[in-house]
Amino acid sequence: MLGPHDSRSPLRVLHVVPSFYPALGYGGPIHALYELCLAQVAAGRSVRVLTSDANGPSRLRELSGRWVSELGVPTFYAPVRLGEDLAPALLTQLWRELPSADLVHVSGLWSGTSLLGLIGATLTGKPTVLTPHGSLMPWALAAGAGRRRKLTVLRTLWPLFTRLGGWHVSSSQEEAGLRQLMQHGHLPSHTPIVQIENGLRPHAAMTMPAPKPDPISPRPPQLVVLGRIVPIKRIELAVSALHALRKTVPTARLTIAGPVPPSEQAYLDTLRAQIDQLGLSAAIDFPGLIGPDHKAKLLAEATALWLTSHMESFGIVVLEALAAGTPVIAVSSTPWQLLDAQRVGHFVEATPEAIASATLRLCQLSDAEQAELSVRCQQLVADRYTWPVLETKLFAFYQAIRSRK
């Protein structure tokens, strides 16, 4: 636990999150939060993380029950005892850490860990920021327990929300969802909202020249879908889009990389049945959860990343693709309208034909045009989506919230 604070000390931020790096089975938000914490440490903030050892169907047993600093951010991984992420030991650590924290940043909402963080911060009067990671967007509210039940829970939590310092969202779509809930009286309307996108750490790949195509043995078009194999990702649309594309480009292939939660095995079976029915078994690969090096290579060699989700609060995979110099084709239910304006991909209707048509346009670019496109992709990330820039914006929001207490 940190000691007494004075005005010359660095801001002391306590993050409370259901799961944390290296629990990558939960998708992009875990990696984004980890990168944010590293950026905060690099900026001179004092950062500590309270989390559970949850990692999908498994546990981070080698880290469980202790403080870990080797990953760059002091983190306590409380062992899960109930449900998916409820870890009673977290309560003890929370009570030890709260007195010395200047601000509490809670991630997620529908979890025991997040609720413990909100309750603890409220009881101790700490300024608090809540990042819902898309959990209050319309599609997410309708999933699982259902919208009516979740709205009932929100009303139950009203006393916590009235004392919340602010909401942090990562896209205009997510902000619109929050404001709609406020307008209908499901959330207090006075709480400020800040929209700050996710980012990446600056790295050499963002400024590397695009790889030169091989004129002797050009590779067939390689499309990539990256993320958890779950219904919200609408992977069946990507399968149908490949089928439509192969009518014009019969050599096109698709890689669908990501973990399959045990509860979604039936969804994977449905996808495989669709693939068999369309005769695409030899054209689609399922490598499962892949490591950072494999992911970087896959994206760098891809013709495009496809983002076909029903909903995305952000979509960190878009930045990972752009940083690799690879354009993105995203559908209109995602927050990536800027792809066309920045000339780094296409923002299209959620139909197989629209995705296939946009991909075909990329395939028809000359070598010089493809090289220019790759440079634009990397430059956009370097200019707008690196954590040092985004962390400064979030720090300003932290300070504004603290000044109102």
Q: Which residue, 375, 41, 43, is CA-closest to 209? A: 375
Q: State mean pLDDT over 369-377.
A: 96
Does the structure show a pLDDT above 50 at 97? yes
AA letter at 66: R
Q: Report pLDDT for 205.
A: 47
When pLDDT is cut at 50, 70 and 90, the band that residue 211 belongs to is low
When pLDDT is cut at 50, 70 and 90, the band that residue 213 belongs to is low
Q: Which two tokens stand for residue 132?
A: 């819902």
Q: Report pLDDT for 216.
A: 44
Q: Report pLDDT for 98.
A: 97
Tell me the per-residue pLDDT of 38-47, one tens digit each, with 9 for 90 and over.
999 999 999 9
AA letter at 3: G
Question: In this predicted structure, which of 57-61, 101-105, 266-270, 375-379 has the lowest mean pLDDT?
Answer: 57-61
When pLDDT is cut at 50, 70 and 90, the band that residue 204 belongs to is very low
Q: Report pLDDT for 87.
A: 84
Does the structure show a pLDDT above 90 at 28? no
Does the structure show a pLDDT above 80 at 122? yes
Q: Which two tokens stand for residue 161?
A: 């929300």
Residue of higher predicted confidence among 16 and 54:
16
Do the two domains 12-199+386-404 and 204-384 of this chain adopt the same fold?
yes
Q: Give the mean pLDDT of the chain.
A: 90
Q: What is the pTM of this model?
A: 0.85
Q: Which residue, 258, 255, 232, 259, is CA-closest to 242? A: 255
AA letter at 88: P
Q: How far is CA 127 from CA 47, 107, 244, 387, 395, in A?
A: 15, 14, 52, 23, 13
When pLDDT is cut at 50, 70 and 90, the band that residue 149 belongs to is confident
Q: Report pLDDT for 147.
A: 81
Q: State mean pLDDT over 175-186.
A: 94
Q: Using DSSP, state whether 343 is helix, strand or coil.
A: coil
Does the structure show a pLDDT above 50 at 207? no
Quote the CA–CA distance of 154 and 275 in Å, as a whole number. Answer: 40
Does the structure show a pLDDT above 80 at 143? no
Q: State mean pLDDT over 164-168.
A: 96
**Which architecture does CATH list for 204-384?**
3-Layer(aba) Sandwich (3.40)
Q: State mean pLDDT over 128-148.
A: 85
Q: State mean pLDDT over 193-218.
A: 66
Long-range contacts of 75-81 (CB under 8 A, 24+ apart): 75/20, 75/48, 75/49, 75/50, 75/51, 76/48, 76/49, 76/50, 76/51, 77/20, 77/51, 77/52, 77/53, 78/50, 78/51, 78/52, 78/53, 79/52, 79/53, 80/52, 80/53, 80/54
Q: Report pLDDT for 170.
A: 93
Does the structure show a pLDDT above 70 at 31? yes
When pLDDT is cut at 50, 70 and 90, the band that residue 218 belongs to is low
Percentage of the chain exceeding pLDDT 70: 93
Residue of higher predicted confidence among 396 and 151:
396
Is residue 362 within 8 Å of residue 369, measured between CB atoms? no
Q: How far is CA 195 from CA 95, 167, 314, in A?
A: 30, 9, 11
Q: Using DSSP, state whether 21 is helix, strand or coil.
A: coil
Percentage of the chain exceeding pLDDT 90: 75
Q: Report pLDDT for 145.
A: 66
CATH numeric code, 12-199+386-404: 3.40.50.2000
Quote the CA–CA distance of 77 and 60 in Å, as a whole number. Answer: 8
Q: How many helices (H) and strands (E) does the chain have?
A: 15, 16
Enumerate the domain spans of the chain: 12-199+386-404, 204-384
- Beta strands at 345-348 and 193-195: parallel, antiparallel or unpaired: unpaired
Tell me the per-residue pLDDT of 231-280, one tens digit each, with 9 for 90 and over.
999 999 999 999 999 999 999 999 999 999 888 999 999 999 999 999 99
Q: What is the DSSP string of 361-389?
A: HHHTS-HHHHHHHHHHHHHHHHHH-BHHH
Is residue 38 within 8 Å of residue 200, measured between CB atoms? no
